[in-house]
Amino acid sequence: MYQNPILKKEMSIGGRTLSLETGRVAGQAGGSVLARYGDTVVLVTATMAENIREGIDFFPLTVDYEERLYAVGKIPGGFIKREGRPSEKAVLSGRLIDRPIRPLFPKGCRNEVQVVATVLSVDQDNAPEIVAMIGASAALHISEIPFQGPVGGVIVGLVDGEYVINPTVEQAEKSRMHLVVAGTSGAIMMVEAGAKEVPEEQMLEGILSGHEKVKEIVSFIEQFRAGALSMGLAKEKVEPAVVSVDPGVEEAVAGTAEEKIAAAVRHCVDARLDKKRREKYLDEVKAGLLAGFLETYPEEEAVITAVLDAVEKKAVRRLILDEQVRIDGRRLDEVRPITVEVGVLPRTHGSGLFTRGQTQVLSVATLGAISEEQILDGLGLEETKRFMHHYNFPPYSTGETKPMRSPGRREIGHGALAERALEPVIPGEEVFPYTIRLVSEVLSSNGSTSQGSVCGSCLALMDAGVPIKAPVAGVAMGLIKEDEQVAVLTDIQGIEDHLGDMDFKVAGTAEGVTALQMDIKVPGVTGGILKRALAQAHAGRMFILGKMLEVIPGPRQELSPYAPRIIHTSIDPDKIRDVIGPGGKIIKKIIEETGVQIDIEDDGRVFIAAVDPAAGNRALEIVRNLTRDVVTGEVYNGRVTRVTDFGCFVEVVPGVMGTPGKEGLVHISQLAHHRVNKVEDICQEGDTITVKAIGYDNQGRLKLSRKEAVPPEPGELEEARAAAASSGREGAGHENGGHERKRPPRARQGRR
């Protein structure tokens, strides 16, 4: 049987071994790499279709990140015991791989390319998404696919002021940021970060330190390809099926159209046309030009259209670079007009409407009980999540009609970015024991809806009365770069995102960055450019934050009347069963009678959620009574349940939900400071009396005293002493309640 040779190469990253192997598995894929880092193993394949897909005007690249729960020794939850639709984490991991590799394919490539990363084994100290990214780069690089990489990627942490490459779980818990940096040896291609208010200078330093390690990984993958070629395990690159343009047609169209389109762009600036009117006007100009050119080149409609779009792009870019003017007339560092509203929805727990130019986002906050947190069935260590942010982008937000479907990768990605931006300021469960869900509805879109979601959601949190640590705002930055000419744009709109060279989103508080996302379309973005972009983003963020705080300077002091009030208490874990009851009978009855929601943690923490405070307090009283112990020395108001000749029985903790209460005996000698002849002289069955717990007898029965719980009435002690004196036994009334102690006769021995 023929056996392929196997190539395996290793390098060290962060003190652990990264290995790439090919030739052993998945031999029919275009490129196949088994990537291993510690005990994390990911199989990554890259395959390209031989023929181009007809009728498409984009590069059809697909990146699938396949989680297998056997990788962490789990069986999928639910009724169907197999993996279903990708988790949110899997979607985000796929995007993380897609973003740095997509710009590195030839312009005009139309062959379908599919990258599949299958997670086979997970060691929590070594992130599988980073292993998958490196494996994808290597698989593409050894395949015949015309990939202009390779790329590398690392996670950068900030632990005790030091940058750590690919931090372990223990280090990540102490880290002030989670920064993913990916790129080639010459350029940073993608940055994704969540941080705990890290200053821009530290963030930039982290990006640059991460890129230094990326360069080593890229060199390692180059060596891997060289070794694979020498062993016949790598393939020579093929020429892609690229949509080409006739140079003669391109030159003729561009030469004639440039002046007219440049004039049309200038008119848009001078007239301050909004998005819809600008698009309509420019489309009309291009349509007129297209009609004229089709008379000369009747078979070249697609080519002419592409050239006209390229001329428009060039005109907008030249305007920015040469005149420092944007197509809507703004300065490069100017933020669009902002409108802020809060409390716009009467029955929700909190709402914020954030409008910036023609981008408008309505965010709504909902507060729920701890039990309503999201259960995660994935490969990570986290099993639940109590803070969620969801993002919806309906077609009407861009004036279009499309089918309404479940959230796609873009919606999931934008929602996760805003969640990452806000998470560092969310109060802990011990301070604010709620599950928090935010939903951002994009009502109108013209650039940077994700950062609009950050602002709108921060407003909704403050409107809901969530005690966030600090307000958060976000802004999207853009870049136009041609040779040495560079323009950094603040608060980019849709056309600038489409025609620009960088999409750089920064969110944070006044103290520092909480989230950052950067995608670069061109090489050569230096540390100096990034520093400039971060500084300009800081100024923009502070301006936006100021506008927000003018409307609502901080979280409201009171929750919405429609939000549940959560009452927190703790009980002895051994008494949890007393609250739950057999088969959950007692806790169900409490919920049914009070209308509250009760969550009990294994450590004895009890959370009672109730919209009606009185109902919550009633439920709390029931829980306390079910678990309350009678403590020696404490005073209680109890109900007399039985009266006997020798005393009365008093229920000091009432029974609830059909459970018996806790009662003890008040002996007749402990009923009063004076001699009591008859128990009924002091109390009757059904009376409420004040008693003190004085201990337990040798059979564990509770002993109570009214005498020690209430002060004597005026003259009561003197009366008791007088009664005792008259009987010849001073103090007997006080000592023994005035009763003679009858002793049994005892035998006497005679003396000799």
* Mean pLDDT value across residues 90-103: 95
- pLDDT-derived band of residue 243, with 50, 70 and 90 as boundaries? low
Q: If phi over 0 gives left and psi between -120 and 50 gives alpha, with beta otherwise, what is residue 110?
A: alpha
pLDDT of residue 728: 57
- pLDDT-derived band of residue 578, with 50, 70 and 90 as boundaries? confident
Task: Tell whether the model's pLDDT for residue 258 goes beyond 80.
Answer: yes
pLDDT of residue 727: 63
Helical packing angle, 200-230 and 527-551, nearest 10°: 140
* Mean pLDDT value across residues 437-458: 96
* Mean pLDDT value across residues 455-474: 98
- pLDDT-derived band of residue 562, with 50, 70 and 90 as boundaries? very high
pLDDT of residue 742: 42
pLDDT of residue 306: 86
Task: Tell whether the model's pLDDT for residue 701 goes beyond 50.
Answer: yes
Task: Tell whether the model's pLDDT for residue 55 goes beyond 80.
Answer: no
Across 429-433, 436-440, 495-499, 625-629, least confident range? 625-629
With helix as H, strand as E and coil as C, how does 73-142 read? CCCCCCCCCCCCCCCHHHHHHHHHHHHHHHHHCCCCECEEEEEEEEEEECCCCCCHHHHHHHHHHHHHHH
Reported pTM? 0.86
* Closest of 620, 582, 628, 573 to residue 601, by C-alpha: 573
Express as a percent the part of the chain with pLDDT over 90. Answer: 73
pLDDT of residue 324: 93
Is residue 413 within 8 Å of residue 440, measured between CB atoms? no
pLDDT of residue 2: 54
- pLDDT-derived band of residue 418, with 50, 70 and 90 as boundaries? very high
Task: Tell whether the model's pLDDT for residue 491 goes beyond 90.
Answer: yes
* Mean pLDDT value across residues 458-477: 97
pLDDT of residue 342: 98
pLDDT of residue 543: 97
pLDDT of residue 628: 84
Residue 305 main-chain phi, psi, to 5 deg: -60, -45
Across 80-89, 228-237, 419-428, least confident range? 80-89
Across 95-109, 202-216, 242-256, least confident range? 242-256
Q: Helix H segments across 342-448?
A: 409-422
* Mean pLDDT value across residues 672-686: 92
Q: How far is CA 87 from CA 67, 76, 83, 95, in A?
A: 8, 12, 9, 13
- pLDDT-derived band of residue 303, with 50, 70 and 90 as boundaries? confident
Task: Tell whether the model's pLDDT for residue 523 goes beyond 80.
Answer: no
Residue 497 assigned ligand-binding role: yes
- pLDDT-derived band of residue 746, with 50, 70 and 90 as boundaries? very low
Contacts for 625 with CB less than 8 Å, ≥ 6 apart: 653, 654, 655, 656, 661
Q: What is the pLDDT of residues 161-196, one digit of tens each?
A: 999 999 999 999 999 999 999 999 988 999 999 999
Task: Tell whether the model's pLDDT for residue 300 goes beyond 90.
Answer: no
* Per-position b or e across 138-174, b if 16+ CB within 10 A of its CB: bbbbbbbbbbebbbbbbbbbbbeeebbbbbbeebbee
Residue 503 assigned ligand-binding role: yes
Q: What is the pLDDT of residues 313-357, one digit of tens each?
A: 999 999 999 999 999 999 999 999 999 999 999 999 999 999 999
Q: What is the pLDDT of residues 533-548, one digit of tens each?
A: 999 999 999 999 999 9
* Mean pLDDT value across residues 264-293: 92
Task: Tell whether the model's pLDDT for residue 244 goes beyond 70.
Answer: no
Q: What is the pLDDT of residues 715-736, one digit of tens each?
A: 777 777 776 676 655 444 444 4
* Mean pLDDT value across residues 9-19: 96
Task: Tell whether the model's pLDDT for residue 109 goes beyond 70.
Answer: yes
Task: Tell whether the model's pLDDT for residue 50 goes beyond 90.
Answer: no
* Mean pLDDT value across residues 432-448: 95
Q: Where are the beta strands (DSSP E) in 558-685?
A: 565-570, 597-600, 605-610, 635-644, 647-653, 662-667
Across 10-19, 436-445, 569-578, least confident range? 569-578
* Mean pLDDT value across residues 389-403: 95
Task: Tell whether the model's pLDDT for residue 409 goes beyond 70.
Answer: yes
Question: Average model confidence (pLDDT) for the chain?
Answer: 91
| Direct distance between the N- and C-terminal alpha carbons of the chain, in angstroms, rounded to an integer | 119
